[in-house]
Amino acid sequence: DGGITQSPKYLFRKEGQNVTLSCEQNLNHDAMYWYRQDPGQGLRLIYYSQIVNDFQKGDIAEGYSVSREKKESFPLTVTSAQKNPTAFYLCASTSLGQGSNYGYTFGSGTRLTVV
Amino acid sequence: RKEVEQDPGPFNVPEGATVAFNCTYSNSASQSFFWYRQDCRKEPKLLMSVYSSGNEDGRFTAQLNRASQYISLLIRDSKLSDSATYLCVVNSNNAGNNRKLIWGLGTSLAVNP
C-alpha cells in the first residue's frame, strides 16, 4: 500500500543532542513538508520541499535542518539550537501535478521529548 | 487577522444531533479548501475537499461562499466516533508559494451518548 512513513514513533533526546526524524513516502508525491504541533496548538510549518535538492524555510525553521536528496525522503534534524524541541512532529506530502487538489497526506507522526 | 479562523469550541452535542462548523479565510485568491479531522494524539486525515458548488459525503456536507470568504461543515446524525478536532484548511495561492496550505487551529467536537 502507498503511504508516508515516519520513524521513530517516539524519540527521547538529551539536552545538547542532535536527532534526526525520518520521513519516507512511496506515493510519488513531489512536495514534502514538516510541521510541529504543540499540545492544544495548531500546525506550524518548519520546512518544505517541492523538488529534489531544494527546500524552503517555513514559519519556525530556526534550530532545524532538512535535506531532500531523494524524492521519497525528507529527513528532519532537530539540532541543539532548538531550545524547546518537545513536540509532535508531522511529515506530509502532496502531488503538484495538474489536476491535483493539493490536499496533504500525513505520516503518523513522531513524538519527541527532551529528557 | 489570522489567515484562517475557526471557532475553537468545544462543541458538546448529543448523539444524533446536527452540528455545523464555520471557518473564514483572509486570502481572496485562495482556490483549494479542505476539512481535515484530527483525533487526539494522531495525525490529521483528510475528511473532504470543499468545492464551489458545495459537496456532500454521507452525513457530511461542505459549503463554500467565496464572496464572504467563508467555509462550513455540517455533520448530520452525529455519532460518538465523530468526536475529534476538525481543521479548516486553505491553499495560500501566493505567487511562488502556491502549494502551501494554511491551517486553522481547529474546532473540537465531543459527541455524547
Rg (CA), chain B: 14
Q: Are B19 and B11 in contact (CB under 8 A)?
A: yes
Q: Which of residues 45-84 of B touch A (CB under 8 A)?
A: 45-46, 49
Q: Which three cell numbers stand for residue A85?
A: 524541541
Give pLDDT, residue A74.
Answer: 98
Is B2 an interface residue toward A (CB < 8 Å)? no
Model pLDDT for residues A84-112, shown as the tens digit of each residue: 999 999 999 998 876 666 689 999 999 99
Q: Are A76 and A23 in contact (CB under 8 A)?
A: yes
Give pLDDT, residue B98.
Answer: 52
Cβ B34–A103 below 8 Å, yes or no? yes
Q: Three-state SS for B29?
A: coil
Residue with cell 490536499: A103
Give pLDDT, residue B32.
Answer: 87
Cβ B46–A102 below 8 Å, yes or no? no
Is A50 an interface residue toward B (CB < 8 Å)? yes
Is B20 an interface residue toward A (CB < 8 Å)? no
Model pLDDT for residues B2-47, shown as the tens digit of each residue: 889 998 889 999 999 999 999 999 988 888 899 999 999 999 999 9
Residue in B101, B52, B67 with CA at minimum distance from that of residue A43: B101
Model pLDDT for residues A47-91, shown as the tens digit of each residue: 999 999 999 999 999 999 999 999 999 999 999 888 899 999 999
